[in-house]
């Protein structure tokens, strides 16, 4: 009974949340059925929860903290050979929970690793050799050997896609790394957040038009199709993950709490 009431509440909430944004509503209508989305929501918080599995059967895990109205999704990595954000992902729950008022202001969802097979094998793509950050139903999606035959034909991409549509985050942050450079990139209405991140970390703000096209990327899907803010955090490749966290800790917490 309690679950049914909560499900009804969540459904009502979903319908009314973005009244001026038909893209979100269309996206929501294509989401997994409400039972799936609700199941994600009602499980106890502050425990890692498996929400899907990779090609090779490794779990994709999320942790939820707080119950505030602002919803933020942190993705600890999507390219398996870019694990510089792993320490930040491990430390973020404690740092976030220790901030006064954070748990009341924000619901933070952490996806530990969107590509656990790639992390295991130290490959950019998943076990099928597909770059998961090119497998999203963005307007610029292009099929290809490294991008999949069609959007979301890779299980890891589908899991994160469904998580985004279930959570409807106000901000998504994804950790990556870049050869011989570090910067913060954004898509969608996130320029002010990228500027805040830059100010607190010293990371240069690098615009998407200064980077090679990324068809089917999360930034293209979330930022340009769903029109929601997304930050792509590029650590310098090879940075000690502990240093990476220390260098960006204040900036990460600032954008999580920002409006
Ligand atoms: Zn990357």
* Tens-digit pLDDT profile for residues 129-182: 999 999 999 999 999 999 999 999 999 999 999 999 999 999 999 999 999 999
What are the residues facing 230 on neighbouring strands?
172, 187
**Cα(87)–Cα(180) distance, rounded to whole angstroms?**
20
- Closest by alpha carbon to 188, among 138, 151, 235, 143? 138
Cα(213) to ligand 1 centroid in Å equals 13
pTM given for the model: 0.83
- Closest by alpha carbon to 178, among 124, 119, 255? 124
Report the alpha-carbon angle 71-253-86, nearest 5: 95
**Cα(129)–Cα(121) distance, rounded to whole angstroms?**
11
Q: Mark the residues whose beta carbon lies below 5 A from ion ligand 1.
A: 79, 82, 176
**Cα(190)–Cα(177) distance, rounded to whole angstroms?**
20
Helix, strand, coil percentages, rounded to 5, for the chain = 40, 20, 40
pLDDT digits (tens, 9 = 90+) for 117-141: 999 999 999 999 999 999 999 999 9
Cα(96) to ligand 1 centroid in Å equals 24
Cα(17) to ligand 1 centroid in Å equals 31
């Amino acid at each position: 009974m309690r679950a049914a009431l909560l499900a009804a509440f969540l459904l009502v909430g979903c319908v009314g949340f973005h009244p001026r944004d038909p893209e979100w509503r269309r996206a929501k209508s294509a989401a997994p059925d409400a039972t799936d989305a609700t199941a994600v929501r009602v499980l106890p918080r502050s425990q890692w929860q498996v929400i899907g599995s990779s090609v090779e059967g490794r779990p994709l895990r999320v942790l939820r903290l707080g119950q505030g109205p602002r919803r933020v999704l942190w993705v600890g990595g999507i390219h398996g050979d870019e694990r510089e954000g792993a320490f930040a992902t491990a430390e973020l729950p404690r740092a976030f929970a220790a901030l006064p008022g954070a748990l009341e202001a924000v619901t933070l969802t952490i996806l530990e690793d969107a590509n656990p097979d790639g992390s295991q094998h130290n490959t950019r793509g998943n076990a099928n050799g597909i770059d998961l950050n090119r497998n999203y139903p963005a307007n610029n999606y292009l099929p290809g050997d490294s991008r999949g035959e069609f959007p979301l034909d890779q299980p890891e991409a589908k899991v994160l896609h469904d998580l985004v549509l279930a959570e409807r985050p106000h901000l998504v942050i994804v950790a990556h790394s870049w050869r011989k450079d570090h910067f913060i990139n954004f898509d969608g209405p996130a320029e002010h957040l990228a500027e805040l991140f830059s100010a607190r970390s010293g990371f240069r703000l690098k615009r998407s038009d200064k980077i090679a096209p990324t068809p089917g990327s999360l930034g293209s899907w979330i930022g340009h199709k769903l029109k929601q803010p997304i930050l792509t955090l590029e650590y310098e490749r090879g940075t000690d993950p502990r240093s990476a966290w220390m260098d960006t800790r204040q900036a990460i917490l600032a954008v999580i709490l920002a409006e």
